[in-house]
Every structure is written in structure tokens, then in C-alpha cells.
Structure 1
Amino acid sequence: MGLFSNKIERDQLKPGDHIYSWRTAYIYAHHGIYVGEGKVIHFTVGAGQGSGSGSGSGSGLVVSSSPASPTDNPCPRCGDQSRLSGVMSSCIDCFLSGGSLCLFEYGVSLALFIAKPRGGTCTLAVSDPPEDVLRRAYYLLENGFGVYDVFKNNCEDFAIYCKTGLLVFTSISVGRSGQAASFLAAASAVLSSPLRFLTTSISGLTAVGYGMYCVSRVVSDIGVRRDVRKVPVETLVARAGSDLHESQAVTEMTEAA
């Protein structure tokens, strides 16, 4: 693994690995859990469908990371999954959709985390044993992972939950996704840092902006933030299926855990 690439070969994969593949000119990545025998369990929203936003209503933002097999030439193993949403199982070729195979890293050092120029590739949090990861992934395949939300409940959130069992219990911040946190950190560094007024040089502004970006990424990481709790997957699914308000439901889940 390097600073700029987490690419691995398929023969290096182990069941329970959190993998991802970049989409659309490296703008974002699609994440999932490798379960063995060339299969990946992942959480997605189908082509042409809007992602939820907070309350679960459509936000108008169209995001699709589903396997892009055309309907007239479906994958012989998976069929046409291009318009399916939710937690699904796909072959690794459909999951990658022509992209490179990368391994998400757990338990990295603070120095390596900061040195990584892009969020959504590693975390300070430590992974649970593979058997726990696989049990969560298969359970969610059967029972779902709630409504897809770009910032609070996306494919990376799904994979991180499978790996760690950690759930955010506050309603005022983004989910576990380092990818979403990275985008918000970049915006925060540019627009809201009072330190940007201390310098007018390009190099100074760049240093201040990058420093704020790094700090924002660190404090948002699942491995250090305090608004997370370990929640059993059975409790997660049971509460997600209730009619409780989102924040109340999450609070009750963490209390029950």
C-alpha cells in the first residue's frame, strides 16, 4: 500500500476485506465487503434513482454505483443489476465495473492517515475479526441497511459498519464515510476557516487550507469521534424497520447496545 494508491491483486483478497473501486474519473469510490468465491456484498442505489436525504425523501441528487451491465448483455453470473437498489451481492467484475481493485485500510497510524491525500481510503478504527464482518454483511444482505443517503448512509458507511459494528448516534453530523467527510472538510477549509485571513500569499493560503482539511478529516474519522457506539446488527435492523424518528431510533439502538 502506498500514499497514493491502495490497489491490490485479486489473488490477495481475503473474505471480510473492505474493498473499493473509483468511479467517474476518481470523483468518488464504490465500497463493499468481499465475501469469497469472487462475490462482493455492497450497498447501492440504482441508475436514475435519487438518493435519500436525512428523512429518507428524495433529494434530487442522482447517484448510482450499481453494476453497469446493459440490459441486452447482462452479466452471466449476476444478471442485470443496473437499476437495483439496496444491499446486494454481485460478482467482483460487476462490482468493479471496469475500475481498479483497491483495499480499504484499518488501524492505520495517525501519520499515515494525515499523509493520505484523499479521504475514503483508510481509517484509524480497528476492524473486527473476519467472521464478525461476514456475519454482518450477510445479515444486512437479507434485511437491508435502510435508505441510501450520500452523506449519512452510503456504501462506505455500510462497509465500515460491517467491519467495525460502529454506528453514529447523533443527527448533527455526517455518517461514518471518510469520503463524505473529505468533501465536507474541503469545503470547510475553503469557506469557513478564520485562519485564512492571517495570510494573503498563495502558499500561505494553501498551507492553512490543507491544515484545516487534515484536521477536519481526523476529527470526523470513525476511529476517534465520540458520537459512535457498537450496535449489534440485529438491533440495527430491528430499529431501522420501526416508525421511530431517525435520531430517536439511533439513540435507542445505542442505549440497547
Structure 2
Amino acid sequence: MGLLSNRVSRESLQPGDHIYSWRAAYLYGHHGIYIGDNKVVHFTRRGREVGTGTFIDTLLISSGSSDTFVVCPTCTTTPNEGHGVMSSCLDCFLSGGFLYRFEYNVNPAFFIAKARGGTCTQAVTDPDDMVVHRAKYLLENGFGCYNVFKNNCEDFAIYCKTGLLVLDQGAIGPGGQAASIIGGPIAAIVSTPLRLVTTNIFGMAASAVVVYCVSRYAADIGSGMRKDVVKVSVEELTRRLSVGLLQVIDPPLNSSAGS
């Protein structure tokens, strides 16, 4: 693992690892938590990163025809037309792709250098046994409704690793992929006014890159800049989800709440 690639071997996996595999010709990554015994717990909708309710769903499905989710006979849970947390064997989770491990507690320079979102965070992970506990608990109790921008597979895995949750339902989730998707257009819009004062294409490009990096950094759940993040126990999370009170979770900001 390193700056160029997070690819790892199967032999190096440990229970509690946050892993992912690229889908649809590297258009997006699918994330999950390895719990040992060749099993991965992950959050999905129809086996894919869909759920926006827009044309993007059609784009992802059509561009990922080679990534059809086929469950092998050893898997106990089969995907359906709904959404949810499921357990799959490692082969089914990878769906023919390569294996990568998500990195935690990276420094700001490393985070910015990894320009592709969905590969690392500055947030600190909890102990592996706590991570596995959260994943198994959510497998039994669910993680709410899937949304590609606010509550996706990467958000699920990051919550299992850190216990951190974004409360503002109008904001993007903790995952880096959504931040990258949104950060690109923001950078283009912000840098456009430079055309009024300069024709230097390199200056405009540099400005766009800076804006993109700043927006990614600010959106990272571990940067310390987000004020909509709390640490919530998995038991409290599922209780609040069951009654629709996710936005009024106690305890206060950045307090510890156990597992």
C-alpha cells in the first residue's frame, strides 16, 4: 500500500479491515468490512452503487455490465431489489475485481496527494474487534436507506471503522467518493471567473485543482473541519434509525459513545 495504490493480497487481510474493489471500469468503488473466514459485510442496493433516483443510476448500470453480482453457493444472503446490509464471500464481493484496503489516520499531505476519493481518510480507526462488532450488528439490524451521496457503502464501512456519523441529512456523507464527485463541479464553477481577468489556461487549471483539494479536505470526516459529526454507538444508531430520529442523536459533538 502507498501513494500510488492501496492494492493488497488476500493473505494480508485481517478481520476489521475496510476493503474495496473498483467497479464499472474504475468509475466507482464498492466498500465493505472484512470480518474473517473469507466473509465481507457490505451495504448495497441491488448489488451496485445505485440509488440516486436520477440518470446516474442508469449510467452506472449500463457502464458496469461486466460487474454483474452473482452469489456463489457458499453465500447465505442473496441480493434483491431492495437495499440493505449483507454478508458475501470475498469472491462475490470483489466480483472479479482487484482487492484494495482503505487507509486510515493518514496525514493531510498524503490525503491531498491521493486525489482520487474513496481510498483514505484522516479519521482514526477503532480497535478491530469493535469494527467487526459494528459490522455484524448492522448486518442484523440494517443501516437505513441507501443513498449514493449520503448513505452509501463507503459511509457504512467508515462508520464501522470509526463510529463517526454525519447528522446533517442535507450534507454529503463521510465517504470520499461523493466528496470527489461534488468537488469537481465546484472547482470548475469557482475557477470560471478567472477567465474574466486572465487567459492563462495553466493558472485557471491550478486554481481549479486548489479548490478541488480544499473541498475534499474540508469534507473529510477526519479533517476536524466538519461540525456535523458525532460518535455514536451502533446500538444507539439502530435504535434511532428505527424511530426516524437520526438527526437528534445524543451525545454531543465528538464525544465517545462506546461501540
Shorter-chain TM range is 0.7 to 0.9
Q: How far does residue 199 in structure 1 lie from its aligned partner after superposition? A: 3.6
Q: Separation in 2 of the partners of 1:217 and 1:137?
A: 26
Match of 1:250 among 231, 236, 246: 246
- 1:204 — aligned with what? 203
Contact 2:40–2:88 (CA under 8 A) maintained in structure 1: yes
- 1:87 — aligned with what? 85
Greater Cα offset, 81-90 or 182-191: 81-90
- 1:223 — aligned with what? 222
Which string of whole-angstrom CA distances, capped at 9 and with x for unpartnered residues, describes residues 12-62 of structure 1? 0000000000000111000000000110000000069961x6xxxx55653
Greater Cα offset, 166-175 or 209-218: 166-175
Identity %: 53
Contact 1:50–1:60 (CA under 8 A) maintained in structure 2: no
Q: How far does residue 195 in structure 1 lie from its aligned partner after superposition? A: 6.1
- Paired letter, 1:161: Y
Greater Cα offset, 160-169 or 186-195: 186-195
Q: How far does residue 205 in structure 1 lie from its aligned partner after superposition? A: 1.5
Match of 1:186 among 181, 184, 187: 184
- In 2 relative to 1, CA 223–50 (structure 1 residues): closer, same or farther, beyond 3 Å? closer
- In 2 relative to 1, CA 153–239 (structure 1 residues): closer, same or farther, beyond 3 Å? same
Which string of whole-angstrom CA distances, capped at 9 and with x for unpartnered residues, describes residues 153-186 of structure 1? 0000000000000011223310111100011011
- 2:75 — aligned with what? 78
Contact 1:127–1:163 (CA under 8 A) maintained in structure 2: yes
Contact 2:16–2:129 (CA under 8 A) maintained in structure 1: yes
- 1:106 — aligned with what? 104
Q: Separation in 2 of the partners of 1:19 and 1:199?
A: 44
Q: Separation in 1 of the partners of 2:234 and 2:44?
A: 19
Query: Mind listing any 5+ residue stretches in structure 2 that lack a counterpart?
Result: none
- 2:68 — aligned with what? 68
Query: Mind listing any 5+ residue stretches in structure 1 that lack a counterpart?
Result: none
Contact 1:20–1:31 (CA under 8 A) maintained in structure 2: yes
- Paired letter, 1:254: D
Runs of 4+ with >6 A deviation: none
Q: Separation in 1 of the partners of 2:135 and 2:251?
A: 23
- In 2 relative to 1, CA 82–232 (structure 1 residues): closer, same or farther, beyond 3 Å? closer
- In 2 relative to 1, CA 104–48 (structure 1 residues): closer, same or farther, beyond 3 Å? closer
- Paired letter, 2:214: V
How many pairs align? 243
Which secondary structure state, in structure 2, belongs to the residue aligned with residue 14 of structure 1? coil
- Paired letter, 2:204: L
**Aligned 1:106-255 pairs, distance under 5 A:** 106-193=104-191, 196-197=194-195, 198-224=197-223, 225-242=226-243, 244=244, 249-255=245-251
TM-score, normalised to structure 1, is 0.87
- 2:5 — aligned with what? 5
Which secondary structure state, in structure 1, belongs to the residue aligned with residue 31 of structure 2? strand
Contact 2:49–2:148 (CA under 8 A) maintained in structure 1: no
Q: How far does residue 241 in structure 1 lie from its aligned partner after superposition? A: 1.1
Q: Separation in 2 of the partners of 1:169 and 1:200?
A: 42
Greater Cα offset, 190-199 or 178-187: 190-199
Contact 1:68–1:94 (CA under 8 A) maintained in structure 2: no
Q: How far does residue 203 in structure 1 lie from its aligned partner after superposition? A: 1.3
